[in-house]
Structure 1
Amino acid sequence: MTTISTAFSLERRIFLFAVPGFGIALLIAAIALVAAFVGRSHVERVAEAQAVFNEERTTTLNEWRESLKQIEETGEAPSPYVARPMDIRMPAILPPAPLGDFAIGSNDLHPTTTLITGWSNPADLFNAYEFANPTILSAGGFDLTFLVVVLMPLIMIAASFDVLSGDRERGRARIVAAQAGHVGASAWRRLAMRNLFVWCVFSVAAWAIALAPPAATPLADRLGDFLAWLGAALAYGLFWFAAIAFASAFLKRSETVAAALFSAWAIFVFAAPAIGGALAEAAYPPPSRLAFLSEMRKGEVRAVRETAELTAGFLADHPEMTVSDDGVPGYYQSNFLANVEAAKRTTPVLDAFNDSRASRSGLVEKLQYLSPAMIADNALKTIAGGDVERNMSYQRQARAALADLTERIGPAVVAKRRISLAEFDAIPPFDFQDRTLLQKFRAIAPPIGFLLAVAAALLFAARRRMSAALEKLL
């Protein structure tokens, strides 16, 4: 009790209730509020744009349905162009994740809206977006995840790097040893108090932000994700506390402790991710983009030239349909067949892109064990929905929805007929299927477990060192 009382008394005077403590508390609160504002603004901006997109496309689709319904009821069409299956345009939207304001991640770089229509093929479903948003801009945004991964270690280091070494240099260590009996136990508790103070301030700010969700985001949907996110953040904080304690125990001069910790921060936060990304890109380079576009154009040209042959082959697979003799222009049929042929030709290249990306992601997942910052960044973004995999899942689901629509309307388009109202109503609207919290937890559990194990090892070594004889610590 004497050691705890002495440590708390000292910390209360020089840190907790002094200028350094108040300054750090204000700094964390201010940065957290800015990060929350940026994340919230991004989510609300995206949600508003998606709402406008969905309303406009849904209105157009409902008008198309009403035209088809009128034709079925009257038996007459005002024009050969009205209510044709190729003109079905169904919106497909990737909604912001419940905790999306905590990690913008790659959401600023990838599409969140598209149209499922017979005029598109899988290769160009997101093609226009990719040219408008080059991945070279993938620096990421300022958000709460950035605060945890990049800035919180710096705040922890600044708050506590000189707890033991500073006491040695100022002669305070001998006074503490005389009062408490052992300088190591006192330093250990003071380190814990300072870092606990830092994370308590952050946790309070994070809770306040979590309990004030962006518009149209139900609070109940984000609480489970927030608890998992905060748990991953605290695990990362525990690692840095262990690293600070380890450096303080084994290095005697304040400038040496600071240099070692800042070097570790720079390596873990910046150098390791950059090297890991470069190695993954070199090991699994993406296929040629020119080859991808070339195959798409070849497919479209062949379909236009061989429309009659492709039509006959398509109808051979659908004998229930016969070619109509009405006045429907042939461009519906030719464009549909061009997209079918382009899909056949570009699917292998598209699969190669996906395989290359999956291989790179797999290598980066292995390399993340070299950097606690990579582990934390991946875990926090996965939980908050700011990771690339969520967007890739959206693109896969959108392409699956396009394939389903193509299969449903194909026979009617090639036969130059309309689909029935019942057939249209049977087409399911796009509904993105997100990962459950359990699936996210399973994905991040191994690296977070490894991070905790490393932290435990560092804490054990630091504790043993601080329990050494007084002359070794002074």
Structure 2
Amino acid sequence: MINSTTFILERRIFIFALPGILIFSCLTLLGAYAAISGKSYVERELVGQQAFLTEANQAVDEWREELVEIEASGVSQSPYSARPMNLRLPAVLNPAPLADFATGAGGLFPTTTKLTGWANPADLFIEYEFANPTILGSGRFDLTFLVVVLMPLVMIAASFDIFSADRERGRSRITAMQAGHIHSSIWKRLVLRNTVLWLVFSLIALFAALITPFAQISSARILSFGVWIGVSWVYGLFWFSVISLAVSVLKRSEAVAAALFSIWAVFVFAVPAIGGAVAEAAYPPPSRLVFLSEMREGEVEGVRDAENLTNALLAEHPEMVPSVEDVPGYFRGAFLSNREANERTTPVLEAFTETRHKRKNLVGRMQFLSPALIANNALVTVAGGDVNRNMEYQAQARESLSNLYTRISPAVVAKQRISIEEFDSIPEFSFSDRTSMDVLGDYLAVFGFMIIVSIFLIVIAMRRLRSPLDKLL
């Protein structure tokens, strides 16, 4: 229990002293900047997606109005009017409820596309690739980055000399003479300093969660924030245990600082970099050239065998009588080539997915070597800024595209239009997302491991601080 004496001492030498004021000021400024940066990014994303949806839905409504008019009058103004191939349905990946807490390299990945018979899996997400990957890959400063990378440094700056400074100034001997021991005083001060730091950060994060970039605060955002802040505190507990052990073992403040900074560099940068390189070498992705080659071959085969493919499709749908209306032949040809390209590239896409899963599993095993990697993966996933969420969006969009192929293929091949009833039965794209609790379930084992390690290090630190005074002083 932290008594009033400890609080008064810490208030005088740290909380309201120049070092403490500087640390708290820097933390507040960094937290505010991270929150504003994340909020601005999500707001821009929402504005862009809304503009995309408005334009796409307007085009779909116009297409439907043409179809209604044709069905009512039986006459079309143009052979191009309300053709199934000209139907372009929007598919959007909305930002996750807590997206502003972990923007990361979100700009590297697409969040909008249009499902149409003119598209095949290879060019469904082609436009985003024109952005500069070097700039986008650098990511953005957000609250997750602040937790994983900077909060350990803030904790180290606040705690590295908490024992050595007292020893050098003689305060430890005075405390020992009065109380007969010093471990209680040192321990309470460590707990107080780091608890205050995390309380300040938690208030900043709570404020960011309440000032949402979305129209309103949803229950999903509240739940995600609760999980996110809980993960952050577990990560903070680990660094508290490491700092406590270093303070209790090393006597000189510069030695404590050097040791802690080295540990931070290894956990935050070295292990994740090595882990990524090992995973890339162990499970390299399939060749994109093979993917594009299969796509082109499928397109060529679709054009070459258009007659046979048409006859096969019409045999499967005898109710579709080929129209005598003057319909451009390239509608059918383009659709068949894309349909064949879809079938040819499916195995390659599945190979990409399998490789990604194997790489993810390998990194999942290696993350036990770096608590920073564990925390980053969990925080980014809970916030909805992870790569896997976007990959799942692309997979669901391609599945919706295949479903659209199935629905419009008889009409396209027979050079007919689909009915209003058939159009209205096409489901709107809706991304099926995971909940924060589902994500947390994936990380229970690794966080249990981190908590056990933290408790073990804390026990060692406490035993070390209880050593005879002649060894400590």
Pair in the same fold by TM > 0.5: yes
In the other structure, the counterpart of 1:459 is 458
Match of 1:100 in 2: 99
Paired residues of 1:50 and 1:93 also in contact (CA < 8 A): yes
CA RMSD of aligned residues (A): 1.5
| SS of residue matched to 1:115 | strand
- 1:210 equivalent to 2:209? Answer yes
1:36-60, CA deviations, whole angstroms, 9 ceiling, x for partnerless residues? 1110110000000000000000000
1:290-301 → structure 2 map (5 Å cutoff): 290-301=289-300
How does 1:328-343 map onto structure 2 within 5 Å? 328-343=327-342
Deviates further, 100-109 or 407-416: 100-109
The aligned amino acid for 1:119 is: W
> In 1, are the aligned partners of 2:107 and 2:136 still within 8 Å (CA)?
no
3-state SS of 1:105 partner:
coil
| Aligned position for 1:266 | 265
- Is the Cα contact below 8 Å between 2:306 and 2:333 reproduced in 1? yes
Deviation, structure 1 residue 8 = 2.6
Answer yes or no: is 1:228 the counterpart of 2:227.
yes
Deviates more, 1:97-106 or 1:111-120: 97-106
Cα shift at 1:250:
1.1
Asked if 2 retains the 8 angstrom alpha-carbon contact of 1:311 and 1:414, the reply is: yes
Contact 1:233/1:376, CA 8 A, preserved across alignment: yes
The corresponding residue for 1:189 is 188
Query: What is the deviation of 1:219?
Result: 4.3
Q: Which residue is 2:76 aligned to?
A: 77
Note the residue ranges of structure 2 that are not aligned, 5 or more in a row.
none
Bigger mean CA offset, 52-61 vs 296-305 = 296-305
Equivalence for 1:47: 46
- C-alpha distance in 2 between matches for 1:163 and 1:341: 69
2:28 paired with 1:22: no
Task: Give the Cα–Cα distance (whole angstroms) in 1 for the partners of residues 43 and 198 of structure 2.
Answer: 28
Q: Note if 1:366 corresponds to 2:365.
A: yes
**Are 1:276 and 2:275 counterparts?**
yes
Q: 166-175 or 364-373: which moved more?
A: 166-175
More moved, 111-120 vs 177-186: 177-186
Matched, 1:124 2:107: no
Distance 1:364 1:23 in 2: 37
**Paired position in structure 2 for 1:178:** 177
Task: Report the 3-state secondary structure (helix = DSSP H, G, I; strand = E; otherwise coil) of the residue aligned with 2:114.
Answer: strand
Distance 2:135 2:448 in 1: 32
Q: Could you tell me how far 1:181 is from its partner in structure 2? A: 2.1
| Residues 183 and 465, structure 2, Cα contact 8 Å, conserved in 1 | yes
Deviations 1:387-433 (A, max 9, x none): 11111111111111111111000111011110000000000111111
The 1:239/1:206 distance shift into structure 2, 3 A limit, reads: same
Q: Give 2:139's aligned residue.
A: 140
| Amino acid across the alignment from 2:230 | G
Letter in 2 for 1:426: S
TM-score, normalised via structure 2 length: 0.97
Distance, in Å, in 2 between the alignment partners of 1:426 and 1:6 is 72
Q: Distance in 1 between matches of 2:411 and 2:35?
A: 51
Q: Residue by residue, what CA displacement relative to the aligned partner does 1:97-139 show, whole Å, maximum 9, x if unpaired?
A: 1111110023221000000111111222113323545478523
Query: 1:206 corresponds to which letter in structure 2?
Result: A
1:9 and 2:8 matched: yes
State the distance in 2 between where 1:135 and 1:430 align. Answer: 31
Please give the secondary structure, in 2, of the residue aligned with 1:163: coil
* Aligned residue number for residue 287 of structure 2: 288
4+ runs deviating over 6 angstroms: none
Name the CA distance, whole Å, in 1 between partners of 2:457 and 2:135.
37
Preserved CA contact (<8 Å) 2:108 2:128: no
User: CA–CA distance in 1 between the matches of 2:377 and 2:228?
Assistant: 11
Q: Shift of residue 315 of structure 1?
A: 2.0
Give the Cα–Cα distance (whole angstroms) in 2 for the partners of residues 170 and 319 of structure 1.
95
Instruction: Work out the percentage of aligned pairs sharing the same amino acid.
Output: 57
Q: Superposition pairs for residues 55-66 of structure 1, below 5 Å?
A: 55-66=54-65
Distance across 2 between alignment mates of 1:20 and 1:104? 31
After alignment, is 453-462 or 11-20 more displaced? 11-20
Report the counterpart of residue 383 of structure 2 in structure 1: 384
1:245 paired residue number: 244
In structure 1, how many angstroms separate the alpha carbons of the residues matched to 2:286 and 2:436?
A: 34
Gaps of 5+ in 1: none
Q: Alignment partner of 2:178: what SS?
A: helix
8 Å contact from structure 1 (residues 123, 347) kept in 2:
no
Matched residue SS, 1:126? coil
Q: Amino acid of the residue matched to residue 384 of structure 1?
A: A
The two structures have a TM-score, normalised by structure 1, of: 0.97
Contact 1:7 1:187 in 2 (8 A): no
- Counterparts of 1:473 and 1:119, CA distance in 2: 75
* Number of residue pairs aligned between Structure 1 and Structure 2: 473
Distance 1:135 1:113, change over 3 A: farther
* 1:419-458 alignment runs, 5 A limit: 419-458=418-457
Instruction: Give the corresponding residue for 2:352.
Output: 353
- Deviation string for 1:62-116 (max 9, x for gaps)? 0000100011111111111100001110100001111111100232210000001
